[in-house]
Amino acid sequence: MKRLWESEALSLDTAVRLVHKLWLDLQLNLARLARPRPESVGPVSARKIRRLLSFQRSLHSSRCFRGVPPQNPLYILDDDYTGQAKTSVHCLFTFTANVVFKVMVQEDYRSRNPYHNAVHAADVTQAMHCYLKEPKLAKSLTSWDILLGLLAATTHDLDHPGVNQPFLIKTNHYLATLYKNTSVLENHHWRSAVGLLRESGLFAHLPLEDRLRIERELGSLILATDISRQNEYLLQFRTHLDREDLCLDDAGHRHFILQMALKCADICNPCRTWELSKHWSEKVTEEFFHQGKFTKWQRDIEKKHKLDVSPLCDSQTQTIENIQMGFMTYVVEPLFVEWARFSDTRLSRTMLGYLALNKAGWKGMVQEHASSGDDTDPTVEEADSDILPQESHEL
């Protein structure tokens, strides 16, 4: 698992490979949820399934991805992989519905966003995959749980506009009005995902009751990624761990752990290797600054609307180093410390180790700026711990 966490990087090619694998996982779990007639199910080679899921095939043998530049669509599952993933003639989604859904998901992620795009979705889905394979979860989760976890990770930022919730509220955006200023982005991601599920007919073979349940539980998972509710979920998680009353035989407790796993996956970038973590930090800061800064050619969004620039979004007063130090200190570290209490594994220790190294790296950069006489940027000690979780939305 440590090797998987370290080696699956965030270039486009590796993101493609990750989503290939994870959607094979999803399709296999759909097959397990089916109710096929025993005489209709052909034999399935366990070795073949392991080979598919371990990704022993070369990426270059996948027809759709030869020479794909970063600007091109990140298709989730190409034709030859779809064919190899067939495990039952009664698989719960048809080939056509699968293709339609994957293309819709890809198109609904806005490629112009530096951070909240399809590659971020691939990164979060890969992290979720790693967490679901942890021993405590692997032995307890049902196929239904795994399906929901991967689906939520894939769609959790669908149609993200590239700005945060406070900006949508301050500009009286129609989404803020529609969702009454409450979990505006997360409600939009959820409803967008439901729309794609219905339009594609991905679960058309399921009874209506099951389809509605998928939509409802998918919403509960996606809504949990609202960073403004971080302390609420963290306190609940810590309380369960202190009381030692989490029981993964209970469906409600399993769902709560899926929520926490998705929250971890969504903000796990600081727990990656320095190269990957720094890459994502630069991307999210670019998106922040696009929302709030002056550019050479025009006033950007917030200053164009004559609004106060949101915390973390003003390139005149903020630096990437200070943003990351505050984010790691007040948001990431408390969550992953509790996750390690829940799942004390090599992967958890690896993530905390990288988090410590990355904090040290950013701290060193802060000190370099301070020693160079650059006093225009606030130090991490001056960062507002109450504001950071609210305004560092969906890092």
| Domain of residue 161, CATH code | 1.10.1300.10
**Looking at this protein, which amino acid is placed at residue 329?**
T
pLDDT for the residue 244: 97
Collect all residues with Cβ–Cβ distance below 8 Å to 95 and sequence separation of at least 6: 82
Whole-number Å distance between alpha carbons of 274 and 1:
18
Q: Is 116 annotated as a binding residue?
A: yes
**CA Rg value for the chain:** 21
CA distance linking residue 229 with residue 4, whole number of Å: 30
Q: Are 289 and 251 in contact (CB under 8 A)?
A: no
The residue with greater pLDDT, 60 or 228, is: 228
Q: What mean pLDDT is predicted for residues 288-313?
A: 55
Count the residues in the chain: 395
| pLDDT attached to residue 297 | 34
- Residue carrying the six token digits 């971020």: 120
Whether the per-residue pLDDT at 61 is higher than 70: the answer is no
If one counts the domains in the chain, the total is: 1
Strand partners for 299 = 294
Q: Are 152 and 48 in contact (CB under 8 A)?
A: no
Strand partners, 294: 299
Q: For 75-79, 159-163, 241-245, 331-335, which range has the lowest pLDDT when averaged over its residues?
A: 75-79
Would you say 119 is a known binding-site residue? Answer: yes
- 157 carries a ligand binding annotation: yes
Q: Tokens for 238, please give them.
A: 């810590």
- Cα–Cα distance between 128 and 200 in angstroms, integer? 24
- Is residue 215 a contact partner of residue 208, using CB atoms and an 8 Å limit? no
Q: Which residue has the higher pLDDT, 279 or 3?
A: 279
| Most trustworthy range by pLDDT among 41-50, 180-189, 297-306, 311-320 | 180-189
Asked whether residue 173 is marked as a ligand-binding residue, the answer is no
The tokens describing 310, both together, are: 């949101």
Predicted confidence at residue 314, as pLDDT, reads: 52
Identify which of 143-152, 164-173, 244-253 has the greatest average pLDDT. 244-253
pLDDT for the residue numbered 24: 56
CB atoms within 10 A of CB 6: 13
Least confident of 101-105, 152-156, 338-342: 101-105
| pLDDT for 288 | 82
Return all residues near 391 (Cβ < 8 A) that are at least 6 apart. 164, 166, 310, 311, 312, 313
Give residue 127's pLDDT: 92
Report how far residue 83's alpha carbon sits from residue 169's, in angstroms, rounded to the nearest whole number. 45
Nearest to 153 by CA among 15, 9, 353, 340: 15
pLDDT score of 276 more than 70: yes
Q: Which domain holds residue 279?
A: 2-391
For residue 116, indicate whether it is catalytic.
yes
Does 230 count as an annotated binding residue?
no
Q: Which of 20, 90, 116, 393 is catalytic?
A: 116
Place of tokens 């486009």: 12
- The tally of CA atoms less than 13 A away on the side-chain side of residue 244 is 0
Helices (H) and strands (E) in the chain, counts: 20, 0
The answer on pLDDT for 119 being more than 80 is yes
Per-residue model confidence (pLDDT) at position 322: 86
Instruction: List the alpha helices (DSSP H) in 201-246.
Output: 208-223, 230-243
Q: Is the pLDDT reported for residue 37 higher than 80?
A: no
Question: Which pLDDT does position 134 carry in this prediction?
Answer: 95
Over residues 178-204, the mean pLDDT reads 96
What is the model's pLDDT at position 395? 33
Name the pLDDT band for 323 (thresholds 50, 70, 90). confident
Return the residue matching tokens 């759709």: 64
Annotation-wise, does 72 bind a ligand? no
Supply 154's token pair: 């894939």
What would the two tokens of residue 56 be? Answer: 């022993």
Give the lowest-confidence range in 35-49, 59-73, 208-222, 262-276.
Answer: 59-73
